[in-house]
Amino acid sequence: MTISPRNPDPLHETLARLVEGALDEAARSELARQIADDPETQQRYIQFMATQAMLEREMRRNQSVKWVASHGLR
Amino acid sequence: MDRTTPDGEFVQRLIAVQDRLYAYIFSLAGDTNAADDVLQQSNIVLWEKADQFRPGTDFGAWACSVAHYEVLAWRKKRGRDRLLFDDRALGQLAGEVESFSAQANDLRLALRHCVELMPPRQRKLLDMRYVPGMTVGKIAQQLARSAASISQTLYRIRAALADCVERSLAKEGPA
């Protein structure tokens, strides 16, 4: 399996904008409507957000490990 | 009412459920900044209500039900106009989010695998994004690129990771 940022899934790209706080009000409303009306979009939203939440936690853990490594533990 | 200090087992359970709780809150709030505050508040309430947990029942489900009320409290403070979901949609979503959050461990493993597959340049950019205080503007400055181009790359990295995790979980099937 490879991972490439080229040609991402459009729903995932919209959700990525939401996570980065870059979705305007009209787009947010449209997204919320789709999530409420379409069970598949709802499932994909849930999985995407859970993935981003996990990414946030993992990356913060990594940053903490790097900080400890760079400052040393006496 | 006599309240006892939570025991070591409770603390272990609370620690173990943090990723799941964060995912639950993050999905319902749809807001990165809110998730930390709501998680912190949920942990306080869970600690205070430790004696209400019944051993032998699902700790994660109990913790999510407590966090649900904290999400509602946050929504009340936040004001309707800035919320992603209305009350009806949130109610619909909560149960689905709670059951999916139980897969937090599978999701973490899939995510780690997908992060390892990322090209080094993208991995570096993602790392930079999570350095405390590192804004998109600062990254752009360091890499001599425009902020818009950094943002676009970050959207695509997040989307690509989600694509990879989705494929990975679909391949494994339900646990």
CB A16 within 8 A of CB A45: no
Q: Look at residue B30 in the predicted model and tell me its pLDDT.
A: 85
Span B134-161, average pLDDT:
93
Assembly ipTM: 0.87
State the pLDDT confidence band at B141, using cuts at 50, 70 and 90. very high
pLDDT reading at A48 higher than 90:
yes
- Is residue B150 a contact partner of residue B140, using CB atoms and an 8 Å limit? yes
Cβ–Cβ of B156/A28 closer than 8 Å?
no
Indicate if the pLDDT at residue B72 is higher than 90: yes
CA distance A74 to chain B (A): 23
Q: Where are the domains of chain B?
A: 1-106, 118-175
Tokens 């409507």 locate to A33
Residue A51 has pLDDT above 90, yes or no: yes
pLDDT of B83 reads: 82
CB-nearest to A19 from B22, B32, B103 is B32
Residue B32 confidence (pLDDT): 77
Question: What pLDDT shows up at residue B80?
Answer: 67
Contact list, A17 vs chain B (CB under 8 Å):
155
Q: How would DSSP label each residue in B70-93?
A: HHHHHHHHH-GGG-SS-HHHHHHH
Backbone angles phi, psi at A41, to 5 degrees: -60, -40
What local confidence, expressed as pLDDT, does residue B175 receive?
Answer: 44
Nearest chain A alpha carbon to B164: A3
- Candidate ranges A58-67, B124-133, B140-149; pick with highest mean pLDDT: B140-149
Per-residue pLDDT, A73? 61
pLDDT at residue B88 is higher than 90? no
Q: Which residues contact A73 (CB under 8 A, 6 or more apart)?
A: none
User: Is the pLDDT assigned to residue B31 strictly greater than 70?
Assistant: yes
Average pLDDT taken over every residue of chain B: 89
Cβ contact (<8 Å) for A16 and B35? Answer: no
Token pair for B174: 């339900």
Spatial distance between the Cα atoms of A68 and B100, rounded to a whole number of angstroms: 33
Give dist(CA B35, CA B58) in Å, integer. Answer: 22
For chain B, how big is the Rg over CA atoms in Å?
A: 19
CATH topology (fold) of B1-106: Rna Polymerase Sigma Factor; Chain: A (1.10.1740)
Residue B90 has pLDDT above 70, yes or no: yes
Question: What are A18-42's pLDDT values in tens digits?
Answer: 998 889 989 999 999 999 999 999 9
Provide the 10 A C-beta neighbour count for residue B142: 11
Per-residue confidence (pLDDT) for residue B92, from 0 to 100: 86
Mean pLDDT computed over B89-110: 89
Shortest CA distance from B24: residue in chain A: A50
B28-36 average pLDDT score: 87
Among chain A residues, CA nearest to B126: A59
Detail the DSSP E strand segments found in chain A.
none
Q: For residue A65, what pLDDT is reported?
A: 82
SS (H, E, C) B23-70: HHHHHHHCCHHHHHHHHHHHHHHHHHCHHHCCCCCCHHHHHHHHHHHH
Q: What percent of chain B has pLDDT over 70?
A: 95
